[in-house]
Amino acid sequence: MNVLIGVSGSIAIYKTCELIRLFIKRGDNVKVVMTPSSEKFITPLTFESLTRNKVLTSNSESWAGGENHIDYAKWADIFIIAPATANTLNKAYRGIADNLLLQTYLATTAPTLFAPAANTNMYLHPATQEAIQNLNCIEANSGLLACGDEGIGKMAEPEEIFLRALREVNKEDFWKNKKVVVTAGGSIEKIDDVRYISNFSSGKMGEALAKAFYIKGADVTLISSKEHKLSKEIKQIKAQSAKDYLDTIISENPDYLIMAAAIVDYKPEYTSGKLKKEQIGEKMVLQLNQNIDILKTLKDKKFKKIGFKAERDEQNALKYAKNTLINKNLDAICLNLLTKNDFGSDENEIIFITKDKEIKFSQDTKENIAFKVADAVKNL
């Protein structure tokens, strides 16, 4: 993907370096166009070192080759203006093109994403708000600003801008207004108020799936026992017990449920407070009862249900997965052999199983596997 990044004069420009790194790591080709005021904060050499491409400035623009705003505008698959100052936002909205960045904006037909960065009063000024509401902007964050004020105006974090940019390019009409709930992490069942039973699930696969469905254009909610750094545009709900997960899924009422969370099969009888060693004695014996089976409880719900099954028994794993698919009335199940990728791994290998076919997604990063799962779910 050809990513053109425009930078205007804001202290938030330091975040743009990390944003560029995210695209470079993904294998994208990145070019940068700068306003004269942005050069007061950072030199073109910094961006050229990161991108290995010539940075377009008023001093470097040339019509002898392709180093000009028209050719850069045509080259881009997406144009991201980050940081976008209040000045840049207001001029862009009103079609003023008095610098190279704004000239490039008017010349491109690629989708353009603005990441505002401004003092709170400048951000909330009616003129700026009108521009923000009419341009394709990612909302700024709130907090302590560089000027010392507290409030909204901090440029969105690089990961947020990165995910939103990928969504702009990759969103599909099929997923528009479709609600996808993804569960992640391992459920937590209390023994008392300071101890619990859980498992080794890292939540990485669920996080990757939430990103993939968001990038595809779905309205995504991630329910997890873990902490995840994601875009504010992905709704996150913290859950602990199986009951928490179940109640939240029902209240969200999705079109698709991707059940990647590892739910504890048996839960202890809960005791309030803290059990003392003097009470327990030399051995602690727990009475465990069978936990809620979330997918079985939801088997008559009309939304699409995709389960995950982790197995170590390679010989019988496929049979176990198919039995779960039928017994819980699932639309599909993803079989994960833990003998190849244990909990916490950054890679995975999955067999995507439906009632009439099996599709193997060979060893790959969890991010890439998640996109393959999303495409397979689309065809259910």
Q: Could you list the active site residues?
A: 147
Paired residues of 84 in beta bridges: 116
Q: Is 52 exposed, middle or buried (0-12, 13-18, 19+ CB in 10 A)?
A: exposed
Q: Yes or no: say if 206 and 222 are a contact pair by the CB < 8 Å rule.
A: yes
**Mode of pairing for the β-strands spanning 2-7 and 256-259:** unpaired
Alpha helices in 108-225 (DSSP H): 120-124, 126-134, 158-170, 204-216
Q: Yes or no: say if 127 and 88 are a contact pair by the CB < 8 Å rule.
A: no
Phi and psi for 17 in degrees, rounded to 5? -60, -45
Q: Is the peptide bond before 111 cis (omega within 30 degrees of 0)?
A: no
Instruction: Kindly tell me the sign of the dihedral angle through the C-alpha atoms of 239, 243, 247, 249.
Output: positive
